[in-house]
Chains A and B, each alone.
Chain A
Amino acid sequence: MIPFDRFTLPNGLRFIVHHDPNTPILAMNILYDVGARDEDPEQTGFAHLFEHLMFGGSVNIPRYDEPLQLAGGENNAFTNSDITNYYLTLPVQNAETAFWLESDRMLSLAFSEKSLEVQRNVVVEEFRQSYLNQPYGDVWLLLKPLAYITHPYQWNTIGKETAHITNASLEDVRRFYARFYNPNNAIVTVAGNVSTAYIKEMAEKWFGPIPAGPVNERKLAKEPEQTTDRLNEVERDVPFSAVYKAWHMCAQQHPDYYVIDLLSDLLGSGNSSRLYVELVRKQKIFSEIGAFITGDIDPGLFVVHGKVMPGVDPYTADQGIQQVIEHLISQKISEAELRKVKNKAIASLAFENISLLNRAMNLTFHEHHGDAGQINKLPAMYAKINVDSLAKASRELFRKGNCNTLIYKSVNKENRE
């Protein structure tokens, strides 16, 4: 059980407080309800670029990092398709510094041309380091636009191309901030050896005076149901060919979400998973293989990815994956296998929530999805999944026409065993 309290300030800012008496550290996590899906298709990568700018100083505090470090703290942030999430930890004695810093950058940023210029460069280097200068680094740049035709998930958080980042202007930045960085568009979780009364006092003092902003009405293009399988083939200078397959799955709020999560474990998580046992150990057509779900709020993707053994045609390897899936659909799943994936999911929850910061983050995410209390209901949710719900969800997921396949062909001429 992860205990927590909840309150909302008059300006709409939501707070969650998780009391843990056994740690000298305080964790603060702030989620802004804005991600890459909220971007203009001509200005992709903006939410993430903006995350970088949040560290460039706010209206009353010229530098964010220094006072935090002076208080013994550390921080970071990440952006994905749905959210932008900022987090910090510091000794609990200096909790107020966290409120001071975070409230000031929610109040107003100190935008400067120099800061924008530098962060544009930093993000372009990040683009190169993570996507362009790595073997297989561009897979997601290829897979997402293959799978999505209209929904903004078709582009990656880093953006469609570096030009979108280099073209960002200070005016764009200001507009983005005014639209999304408002108390009524954020959730704050504070975790540590603190009382809710104290956090409420701090919240009212520092965040209370920030005016609410316009309500962000999200009108995203809905992805039409995919009815024909899609295929893309590319050639790259990589040592081994690879196969990536993505199927459209349900949104996070859908009752089947956790069923499909279990399905991804059953197929492709760990060395006892079906794909691994059949295609790596037995048939030896892949050297590695796995499956996961993208975990998005809107309908996301169920992904299978594998590196093909040299000498094996990637299309043959792809057929291997399809056979494993056909077998899954046509044969009854055993109770023992169901028990296994459930045990695994429930144990993972326990491992994940050992860290204070993870607890703070997970509480925030669940609140964002609708209810922080969900965090304590997950074990029971997994427990009630049965083989019939798995079978039904897998037939729906792997229906004909719902699949996107990326064949990533190695043009490496060296012959390897």
Chain B
Amino acid sequence: MDKLNREQQPKLNLVGLGTMASPRSCRFENGIKVHLFEGKAHEAIRLDLVFKAGTAYQQVKLAASSTNRMLKEGTKQFTGRQIASKLDYYGAYTDLTATKDFAWISLFGLRKHFPKLLPIYESMVKAPAFKPADFKVLNRQQKHEFVVNSQKPKHLASRVFNQELFGAGSPYGQTADEIDYDRLKPADLADFYAGFYGAGNCEIIISGAIDRATEDMVQERFSGLWGTDTQAAAIAQPHASVTGLNWISKPGALQSAIQMGKYLFNRKHPDFAGFLVLNTVLGGYFGSRLMANIREDKGYTYGIHSQLVPLEQGGFFVIGTETGRDVTQAALEEIRNELLRLIHEPIPEDELVLVKNYLTGSYLRGLDGVYNQADKFKAILGLGEGMEYYNKVIRTVQDISAEVLQELAVRYLQPDSMLTVVAGERV
């Protein structure tokens, strides 16, 4: 019907890496580091304040995440309702997140409204009230969310996996129970806030339609002395090596959730970039071996993924999926087979080229717009290396050989070195 050669892929062109744009960085007089990603084409600005105030630092369970989320529930100047009304009035929103390592307070709004938004945001950051009545409402909401989540097999498996992997009492291994919500008091949050929120423990990232006036406004509000002047000391997370299979019984569940993995390393480790390639081959993209085998060939699952999660202290590797309960055992076998295949056989050249190209494309997607760039920067904030880090990683990715990858698989992917947690009905 036409003379086109439709069987032949159009010639691929060399994809230049470009450069990861570095932010413009400076310091306020109080020592806070500020990083600016300017994107003139936009109307919106995102302002992120980040504190070393993640769950790993808390002495009382839930203190870190609840402190973070309480910031918008009322301050010395505004009630929670006023905050919500004002943010909504100017079409802005805030994002409050606590990870294991960091607490984020993000504000997203149109530049033209920033002069009205900043006083509210400043008050949330510097003067939260932690009023018992507001706390009660939020705490109950969070407890309800927790209780609902606890019915989900995936949530159950992740929780136990995390606990076992790091050790239940350790900074990264702690997980809350329902009763911890009942024990939590507003004073716990005030204490946590006093210890970890302040100019001494903060960095600022501004991205989007920044102009001089916005910069000045942020500087005016955050360059003085406020909150703690002490940077949080690094946490001591013991290295763990737990293995074996842990079944959590969930009678009647149609699917089982699987979490399998081990304690590994973070971006500072020399094998990080190599492992990134290895993980992509195994379970890091849609065409991965785990997807090809367990979803596309066997149809056992809607999805299966693996990832290396870097933390400030070390990191962990995890494979996650939900499979039909009748095929859970078979899926576990196939995961094992795929790990062994990476250990016993070098990755064929064409597959390796594909994965390298795919990763190069992902890297470029990270360059698409200032908000993506800022996100990339946020992911490596603790590293203190700047965006050049990514250029280094992608060069390693492009140069790595199948031989080296096999060595990494031998070292890091032995099935018997892994912890497996399954939540579901055992058939």
Contact = CB atoms under 8 A, between A and B. Distances in A.
Given A125-B255, A270-B84, A350-B43, A134 B299 contact: no
B4 A206 contact: yes
Interface stretch (B58-66, B163-171, B184-192, B290-298): B290-298
A163 to B, nearest CB: 15
A17 B117 CA distance: 36
B140 A74 contact: no
Interface in B102-149: 108-110, 113, 137, 140-141, 143-144, 147-148
A49 interface: no
B1 A22 contact: no
Contact of A61 (B7, B297, B322): B7
B1 A209 contact: yes
A277 B15 CA distance: 52
A41 interface: no
B287 A65 contact: yes
Interface residues of B, number: 76
Contact of A281 (B1, B92, B137): B137
Contact of B4 (A89, A209, A347): A209
Contact of B357 (A70, A129, A209, A346): A70
Most buried by A among B88, B153, B295, B323: B88
A350 B113 CA distance: 13
B301 A107 contact: no
B270 interface: no
Interface string B31-56: 00000000001111000000000000
Interface stretch (A94-102, A218-226, A243-251, A315-323): A94-102
Contacts of A277: 81
Contacts of B80: 271, 281
B144 A240 contact: yes
A367 B353 CA distance: 38
B44 A351 contact: yes
Nearest to B82: A272
A239 interface: yes
Contacts of B368: 23-25, 89, 355-356
A128 interface: yes
B384 interface: no
A11 to B, nearest CB: 12
Interface of A is mostly: helix
A65 B152 CA distance: 31
A271 B73 CA distance: 10
B287 A69 contact: yes
Interface string A124-163: 1110111011111000000000000000000000000000
B84 to A, nearest CB: 4
B357 A125 contact: no
B348 interface: no
A66 B291 CA distance: 13
B369 A22 contact: yes
A396 to B, nearest CB: 25
Contacts of A273: 88
B165 to A, nearest CB: 24
A104 B84 CA distance: 50
Contact of B297 (A118, A240, A339): A118
A91 B90 CA distance: 36
B361 A350 contact: no
B181 to A, nearest CB: 9
17 contacts: A25-B364, A25-B368, A59-B6, A61-B6, A61-B9, A70-B9, A72-B360, A121-B298, A125-B324, A133-B253, A343-B113, A344-B88, A350-B110, A354-B44, A355-B369, A356-B368, A416-B143
Closest 5 CB pairs of A and B: A72-B361, A347-B91, A121-B299, A271-B84, A96-B10
